[in-house]
Amino acid sequence: MLSLNPYRIGFRTIKTAIGMALGIIIAKLLGLDNFASSAILVVLCIKHTKVHSLQAIVSRFVSCTLILILGSIIFSLLGQHAIVLGIIVLFFIPLTVVFKVQEGIVTSCVILLHVFNAPSIDFHLFVNEIELLIVGLGIAFLMNLIMPSLDKNLKAYKKNIEDSFTKIFICFSEKCDNLQHPLDIHFSEIRLTIEKAKSLAFRDVKNHFGRNENSYYHYFDMREQQLELIHRIELMLENVEFKDELLTKLAQLFKEVAENVNSNDYTALRLHSLYEIRLQLDNLELPDSYASLRTRASLIQLLNELEYYLQIKSDFGSLKTYSEAS
């Protein structure tokens, strides 16, 4: 059965609509021929980020200027015929690849058709097309300077991930208190959330011309590394089959970690608690069976993974936003 997506007018759609209208109005007021083509330029240059928009504008301006010069010269020499048009396109497209401006092929073809249909190829035509480019690309650039802040969404992702980590460590603590407690953790969902968060953080970088990194991106990358360690810890807990004295101490440590997941200075205290447990290992009774020995070995390895988890956060430090850093 055919299903329809919910009807929604996004911010990019609004900018495109306003930009197209402005492009046509301004081009018409300037008395330009083919003034409606300025709207095409606006549509093709409205992007999700400022950096991508600027790249598209530069690419289209270079390719359109190139086709305007080539088209004017070749049509003047060989005539404005369909075969000549095809030959120009045949050689022009590989040329855009050489100059790495192939993103402007569609726009360039529009300019080429203007030259093809022009009553006469002269200086007026050249100036008219350049002005069309300036109007359309200029409005697109101004529209793309208006970008919604992504900080709210990034903070929401951060809280979502931290809440998930908190629930996981509470679950680990309960598992240590009761080996029959199930570990129902949806790692695939958390991993997908982190990937979406990193994608949004990368997009935020592209919304700033003078920035080539994003603290949120590094933060989510750090959480992704920690998630892999948490997954390994879960596998080790699943293999614990014998009640060990170490479990009580681990239950308390997991509880402390859960209560301080979103803290920027919790790692030193938690690492101190972990090292205390290591020192107390010498005073614990030795395992007296194969099952208890295997359990103790798994728990010691678990401590190593948890130490690495805490060190990753310690090395990362505090999350500094761009506004705080500048």
232 in the same domain as 133: no
Alpha-carbon gap, residue 295 to 318, rounded angstroms: 35
Average pLDDT value for the chain = 83
Position 58 in a domain: yes
> In Å, how far are 136, 188, 204, 312, 321 from 207, measured between CA atoms?
21, 29, 5, 28, 14
Q: Is the pLDDT of residue 268 over 70?
A: yes
The tokens for 251 are 């239950």
Of 125, 145, 165, the residue that ends a domain is: 145
Return all residues near 96 (Cβ < 8 A) that are at least 6 apart: 63, 66, 102, 104, 105, 108
Query: Of 112, 145, 178, which residue sits at a domain end?
Result: 145
Which of residues 145, 167, 195 is at a domain's end?
145
Q: What is the pLDDT of residue 320?
A: 59
Q: What pLDDT shows up at residue 294?
A: 76
Look up residue 102 and give its two tokens: 């192939």
The pLDDT of residue 274 = 84
The answer to whether residues 234 and 255 belong to one domain is: yes
Do residue 245 and residue 215 come from a single domain? yes
Residues 133 and 162 reside in one and the same domain? no
Q: Are residues 166 and 210 in the same domain?
A: yes
68 and 197 fall within a common domain: no
Q: Could you tell me if 173 and 302 lie in one domain?
A: yes
Structure tokens belonging to residue 142:
């101004």
Domain annotation covers residue 5: no
Q: Which segment of 38-47, 150-159, 265-274 scores lowest on mean pLDDT?
A: 265-274
pLDDT of residue 326: 37
pLDDT for 316 equals 79
Q: Are residues 136 and 164 part of one domain?
A: no
3 in a structural domain: no
Decide if 283 contacts 185 (C-beta within 8 A).
Answer: no
Q: Which long-range contacts (CB under 8 A, 24 or more apart) does 314-318 make?
A: 314/267, 314/268, 314/271, 316/218, 316/219, 316/222, 317/264, 318/264, 318/265
Q: Using pLDDT thresholds of 50, 70 and 90, give the confidence band for residue 146.
A: confident
Q: Which residue has the tokens 């990193």?
A: 198
What is the number of structural domains in the chain? 2
**186: region left, alpha or beta (phi > 0 left; psi from -120 to 50 alpha):** beta
Q: Is residue 2, in this structure, part of any structural domain at all?
A: no
**In terms of domains, do 138 and 155 share one?**
no
Question: Is residue 63 located within the same domain as residue 199?
Answer: no
**C-beta separation of 38 from 26 below 8 A:** yes
In a domain, 169, yes or no: yes
| Residue 141 or residue 224, greater confidence | 224
Hunting for tokens 């002005």 — which residue is that?
A: 131
First to last CA, the chain: 53
> What pTM was estimated for this model as a whole?
0.67
Q: pLDDT for 288-317, tens place per residue?
A: 777 677 777 888 888 889 889 888 888 877
Domain that holds residue 302: 150-280+287-324
Across the range 49-59, mean pLDDT stands at: 76
As a whole number, mean pLDDT of residues 2-12 equals: 67
Model pLDDT, residue 167: 92
165: confidence class by pLDDT, cuts 50, 70, 90: very high
- Smallest Cα–Cα separation from 20: which of 47, 52, 46, 1? 46
